Amino acid sequence: MCGRFAVTTDPALLARKIKAINEVPATTGAAAGGAAPNYNVAPTASIATVVARHSEPDDEPTRRVRSMRWGLVPPWAKPGPDGAPEARGPMLINARADKVTTSPAFRSSAKSKRCLIPMDGYYEWRVNDAKAGHTSRKTPFFMYRGDGEPLFVAGLWSVWKPAQDAPPLLSCTIITTDAPGELGEIHERMPLVLPERDWDRWLNPDAPVDEELLTRPPDVGGIRVREVSTLVNNVRNNGPQLLEPVEPQPEQMKLL
């Protein structure tokens, strides 16, 4: 799964970099997908995403950077007493690549509402062997591109309204796939990273989902791994210190 990640790129800069239209309001901060860095993005946070949409029915779709809530809300979700979507069942922060076209929660979005979620990198926790009489300790790691460029991972998005005349809530989920090699030794799942050559094919709202992008092994050649502090375990902690490497334990030296 992917339950936490880091983003430090300003949406406006991101839009210029990938030749997209920035639709994230300039007045918003990190909690709303805005300019401030967020080193500990957690579910329900608003994040910057990349979509492709039409301005006119017959024009070419263009890339757009939009703010969305992390944790997809299906269009059929019912509103609660406060007007927010009812929290029933697990939060849809991740979608398995092998189920996005068949799962009732995701198959509608998979048809034409596909997105990219940019991130500096993502965190994952490895379960260590428990000592007698003790609970197994989990060690956090940060996965990132060695060249310093962001990771762009595949996602799905949705539009939800509590009432016909209410403003829409845009929400998204991160698609995950089997993690190979060293990454799989930390956790069996990872976000589905897409190289730039596949972005437009994935985002195209006029074409059905390309299942080859969902089923092929991920290209992880440029991804690096480092152990980080357990400070990241607490969502209240947020700062560049969360990305700093820590000295690995002896049993971890072989992996790293």
Active site residues: 2, 124
Tell me which residue of 242, 28, 156 sits closest to 10, measured CA to CA: 28
Are 245 and 226 contacting, i.e. CB atoms less than 8 angstroms apart? yes
Tell me which residue of 96, 108, 102, 208 sits closest to 160, measured CA to CA: 108
Tell me which residue of 253, 190, 252 sits closest to 220, measured CA to CA: 190
| Length, in residues, of the chain | 256
Report the alpha-carbon angle 30-36-41, nearest 5.
45
Q: Say which amino acid occupies 236.
A: R
Backbone angles phi, psi at 97, to 5 degrees: -60, -35
Are 189 and 178 contacting, i.e. CB atoms less than 8 angstroms apart? yes
Q: Which residue has the tokens 């016909």?
A: 164
Q: Which residue has the tokens 């897409």?
A: 194
Q: Locate the DSSP E strands across 8-45.
A: 21-22, 38-41
33: alpha, beta or left? (left if phi > 0; alpha if psi -120 to 50): left
Long-range contacts of 163-168 (CB under 8 A, 24+ apart): 163/79, 166/83
DSSP 129: P
